[in-house]
Chains A and B, each alone.
Chain A
Amino acid sequence: MSDGFKVLYYVNQFFGQIGGEDKAGMKPEFHSEKIGPALGFEQLLKGEGQVVGTIICGDNYFNENKEESLEYILNLVKQEAPDVFVAGPAFNAGRYGVACAEISRAVAEELNIPVVTGMYIENPGLDTCKQVAYVVSTSDNAGGMRKALPAMANIAYKLGKGLEIGSPEEEGYIARGMRKTIIVEKRGSLRAVEMLIKRLKGEEFETEMPMPVFDVVEPALAIKDLSKATIALCTSGGIVPAGNPDRIQSASAQKWGKYDVSGRDALNAPDFYTTHGGYDPVYANEIPDRVAPLDILKELQKEGYIGNVYEFFYTTTGTGTSVSNAVKFGTEIGKELKEAGVDGVILTST
């Protein structure tokens, strides 16, 4: 067996047979034996691989002590140096899914070890790891274990043996969003004509290049009473305090800044200016409120038209900022605003 490839397994306290919710606070532990799903897993590796141990960690502990847990687990993985890392399956369990996802991503990205995990398609951990790990699509509860494990083991086997992994449909994993160039039997024009005929007949057809789906967020409910509402001001127009203390990039922004404006009536020059690289800055530098109208909002507050202007003003630059960064900024800023109890947001863009 010593010639076979090595698999290291991760499970939570429940599947690690430590206990239920009461044990969710346990710290990560390493066991050199095969526990829970890891036990059956080895039998599915066609005698060519062995599970060298099981890491068990409480779901709550992991989620509350992410950095520490990750560091500890990564060190363990480094020591054991497996050929393949396996986590879960987590089905639709949220905290377990996030743990599997974060660990999978860290192992794949930082240690460059191939990873297999399993999740239900709606598991909140999925997006974190599907690009770097093979995530087998599972049912939403542990009843799907018997189906999930063979699929995961089959991928682990191929990864361990250095074999090519087939398509998501063949192997049962969730597409990672990678566009793989392949040679197929039918030439493009024939595929086009067949697609056309299906379309004309009203039959189902599948495009080869799905357009990006813009997920739509339902409009939030309107503010009931403006005179009691706290309004926050945000801009992607790059208005920053003189000297740009946080070094917000003029383009392709990597970060956002927030500045206390509770004691100000306006974002006036020369205390503020624009660092945005995408437009003629003359007008904005003359009167920065032309980009981020703090002055008017303060007036409306004084008049009692709105209750309050939120004490912090948020800013970044829009030009060339990647979609993923924009999403990240929005998520971070939104979280702060939500926690601060802000009722509405004005975002200005140039």
Chain B
Amino acid sequence: MVKEIERYGIPIVHMATITTISESVGANRIVPTVAIPHPVGNPSLKSEDEKIMRKAMVKRAVDALATEISEVTHFE
């Protein structure tokens, strides 16, 4: 899916837990996430902390879209 969307020339960032799979499906911009059942969240944190963590992670993804890259890049 990632590849086909990017083929239209739209930058896409893949937020995924298993980054090896992410690479093998052809994602160029990758943000590693927390865990499979809750990629963009962490229920073991207090809700305020979880929110801060989540926001930072999504911001990183958005920033990745605005970052010029020439090869597969992990934004950690």
From B5, B9, B24, contact of A347 by CB (8 A): B5
**Pair A293/B66 contact, Cβ less than 8 Å:** no
What are 11 inter-chain pairs, A to B, with CB distance below 8 A? Answer: A214-B24, A217-B3, A219-B73, A329-B4, A330-B3, A345-B65, A346-B13, A347-B5, A348-B14, A349-B15, A350-B36
- Residues 319-344 of A, flagged 1 when their CB comes within 8 A of B and 0 if not, give 00000001101110111011000111
Kindly provide the distance from the CB of A185 to the nearest chain B CB, expressed in whole angstroms.
37
**Pair B8/A337 contact, Cβ less than 8 Å:** yes
Task: Report A-chain residues with C-beta under 8 Å of the C-beta of B65.
Answer: 222-223, 226, 229, 231, 343-346
Task: Report B-chain residues with C-beta under 8 Å of the C-beta of A316.
Answer: 1
- Residues 277-311 of A, flagged 1 when their CB comes within 8 A of B and 0 if not, give 01111111011011111001101100001100000
Question: How many residues in A have their beta carbons less than 8 Å from beta carbons of B?
Answer: 57
Q: Point out which of A286, A299, A329, A349 has the most chain B C-beta atoms below 10 A from its C-beta.
A: A349
Q: Point out which of B1, B37, B43 has the most chain A C-beta atoms below 10 A from its C-beta.
A: B1
Q: Point out which of A234, A279, A346 has the most chain B C-beta atoms below 10 A from its C-beta.
A: A346
**Pair A223/B3 contact, Cβ less than 8 Å:** no
Which 7 interchain pairs have the tightest Cβ spacing? A330-B4, A290-B41, A330-B1, A344-B65, A219-B28, A334-B5, A283-B38
Residue of B nearest to A225 (CB): B66
From A331, A335, A346, contact of B58 by CB (8 A): A346
Q: 6 more A-B contacts (CB under 8 A) besides A291-B40, A330-B5?
A: A236-B1, A300-B62, A329-B4, A330-B1, A334-B7, A348-B15
Assess whether A182 is interfacial by the CB under 8 Å rule. no
From A221, A279, A286, contact of B11 by CB (8 A): A221
Residue of B nearest to A299 (CB): B55
Assess whether A64 is interfacial by the CB under 8 Å rule. no
Question: How many residues in B have their beta carbons less than 8 Å from beta carbons of A?
Answer: 48
A305 to B67, CA, bound (A): 15
Assess whether A200 is interfacial by the CB under 8 Å rule. no
**Pair B38/A284 contact, Cβ less than 8 Å:** yes
Assess whether A206 is interfacial by the CB under 8 Å rule. no
A214 to B3, CA, bound (A): 10
Q: A219-B6, A289-B41 are in contact. Are A326 and B36 (CB under 8 A)?
A: no
Task: Report A-chain residues with C-beta under 8 Å of the C-beta of B61.
Answer: 346
From B1, B10, B13, B69, contact of A338 by CB (8 A): B10
Task: Report B-chain residues with C-beta under 8 Å of the C-beta of A237.
Answer: 39
A343 to B12, CA, bound (A): 9
- Residues 206-225 of A, flagged 1 when their CB comes within 8 A of B and 0 if not, give 00000000111111111110
**Pair A306/B62 contact, Cβ less than 8 Å:** yes
Task: Report A-chain residues with C-beta under 8 Å of the C-beta of B15.
Answer: 346-349
Q: A282-B37, A290-B38, A346-B15 are in contact. Are A334 and B8 (CB under 8 A)?
A: yes
**Pair A333/B40 contact, Cβ less than 8 Å:** no
Task: Report A-chain residues with C-beta under 8 Å of the C-beta of B3.
Answer: 215, 217, 327, 330
Task: Report A-chain residues with C-beta under 8 Å of the C-beta of B57.
Answer: 293
Q: A219-B29, A291-B40, A349-B22 are in contact. Are A231 and B62 (CB under 8 A)?
A: yes
From B9, B28, B37, B67, contact of A283 by CB (8 A): B37
**Pair B10/A343 contact, Cβ less than 8 Å:** yes
**Pair B36/A222 contact, Cβ less than 8 Å:** no
Residue of A nearest to B58 (CB): A296
From B10, B14, B28, B38, contact of A344 by CB (8 A): B10
Kindly provide the distance from the CB of B13 to the nearest chain A CB, expressed in whole angstroms.
6
A95 to B57, CA, bound (A): 45
